[in-house]
């Protein structure tokens, strides 16, 4: 889409529990503010693909709005 990465526009990560901010690395120098350096989402966070809108067709959260 207009020179942007497809990572943020409809492409799903390999592991839906992987942190979208640091892409699972946890950021080696500074801790990732989203996952606190773990590389994974904390339990029950808003789905980054449907933004918590609970779309039944969302393949990441399966319509729950949270992953």
pLDDT, tens only, 9-44: 455 556 667 777 787 787 767 788 777 777 876 666
7 is a domain residue: no
pTM > 0.75: no
Structure confidence by residue, pLDDT tens digits, 43-61: 667 787 887 888 899 888 8
56 is a domain residue: yes
- Is the alpha carbon torsion for 49, 16, 56, 1 positive or negative? positive
22 is a domain residue: no
21 is a domain residue: no
38 is a domain residue: yes
4 is a domain residue: no
10 is a domain residue: no
- Give how far the C-alpha of residue 10 lies from the chain's centroid of Cα atoms, to the nearest Å: 12
The boundaries of the domain holding residue 61 are 29-66
């Amino acid at each position: 889409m207009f020179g942007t990465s497809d990572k943020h526009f409809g492409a799903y990560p390999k592991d839906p529990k992987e942190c979208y901010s640091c892409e699972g690395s946890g950021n080696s120098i500074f801790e990732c503010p989203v996952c606190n350096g773990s590389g994974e989402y904390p339990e029950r966070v808003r789905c980054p693909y449907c933004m918590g809108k609970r779309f039944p067709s969302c393949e990441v959260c399966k319509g729950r709005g949270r992953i």
